[in-house]
Structure 1
């Protein structure tokens, strides 16, 4: 079995978490906001989890995945708007935010979750890096990865549940790329194989 140092993906993610953690420290705030965007399968969730585990500040961050907020397979834009209105904007004004988890099985929103403005936030998901969100975020990460690698990882992760929705989700990603230009808004660009 190869070591993590022999795994190009693990090595790229390790380098990325070190860079993002350094950027968080450089903000010199107790409650920075980190946005992690990229297309499906790019490694956003893994990077966010690693960053949360190695958060360089005293108080643990609040890790929120847009997958918990999108209202279904056609809901990227709506999920991003909800995240802005319910998480980012209140946090930026030092107010408690409250977001609702979307229950994909029931097809409706479920329980509420509070967001403490005194603690940092890591918000990850496709579409999160928009001009509105960028104005509030302290660290803005765009993750880049080749489509064959992304697709393999996404389908390995979500299996047959995601396969029939890959193209329609990808169309929403392309619309986001053209409209919001997230790469231009990023303070860090992370490339993974």
Structure 2
């Protein structure tokens, strides 16, 4: 079995985590907001988990995956808007935020989750870097990765559940990139093989 150092994706994510932890430390903030954007299969979820394990600030961080908020396969933009209005804006003003989990099996909203403004927030998901979200985030990450590697990783992870939706989701991601230019909004761009 190859070591993580033999895996170029894992090595790139390890380097990214170290850089982002340093970025968070440099903020000198008790409740920073970190956003991780990139196309499907780029490594957002893995990187977010690594950052949670290495979080450099005393206290816990609140991890929110947009996959839990998007209202279905056509909901990229709506999920981002829900994160902006329910989480990021209240957090930035020092108010309790709230988001509702999307139940993919039922095709409906499920339970609510509170977001404590005193704690840091890490949101990962395609579409999260827009001019509106970037204005209230401290660390903004864009993961750049080619389609063949991303698609292989995403379909290995989610298989037949995701396969029929790949193209329609990719179109929404492409619209986001063309409209919002998330790479230009990032404070840190990470290339993932």
Normalising by the residue count of structure 1, what TM-score does the alignment of the two structures yield?
Answer: 0.99
Secondary structure of 1:162's aligned partner: helix
1:10 aligns to what?
Answer: 10
Distance 2:142 2:164 in 1: 26
Q: Deviations over 1:88-110 (max 9, x none)?
A: 00000000001000000001000
Bigger Cα displacement from structure 2, 2-11 vs 119-128: 2-11
Listed as ranges, the matches of 1:33-112 within 5 Å are 33-112=33-112
SS of residue matched to 2:135: helix
Counterpart of 1:129?
A: 129
List structure 1 segments (4+ residues) > 4 angstroms apart after TM superposition. Answer: none
Once residues 78 and 29 of structure 2 are traced to their aligned partners in structure 1, the CA distance between those partners, rounded to angstroms, is: 29
Give runs of aligned pairs for residues 131-146 of structure 1, distance below 5 A: 131-146=131-146
Deviation (angstroms), 1:7? 1.1
> Could you tell me how far 1:60 is from its partner in structure 2?
1.2
Instruction: Give 1:16 shift.
Output: 0.3
* Corresponding residue number in structure 2 for 1:25: 25
Deviation at 1:71, TM superposition (A): 0.3
Gaps in structure 1 of 5+ consecutive residues: none
Distance across 2 between alignment mates of 1:2 and 1:45:
22
Question: Structure 2: which 5+ residue stretches go unaligned?
Answer: none
- The equivalent residue for 2:164 is 164
Count of residue pairs the alignment pairs up: 193
Alpha-carbon separation, structure 1, partners of 2:192 and 2:119: 29
Cα distance in 2, alignment partners of residues 40 and 6 from structure 1: 23
**TM-score for both structures, normalised by structure 2:** 0.99
Following superposition, the deviation at residue 129 of structure 1 comes to 0.2
SS of the counterpart of 2:58?
Answer: coil
- Per the alignment, residue 188 of structure 1 pairs with 188
Question: How much does 1:147 deviate?
Answer: 0.5
Is it true that 1:177 corresponds to 2:177 in the alignment?
yes
1:141 and 1:112 mapped to 2: Cα distance? 27
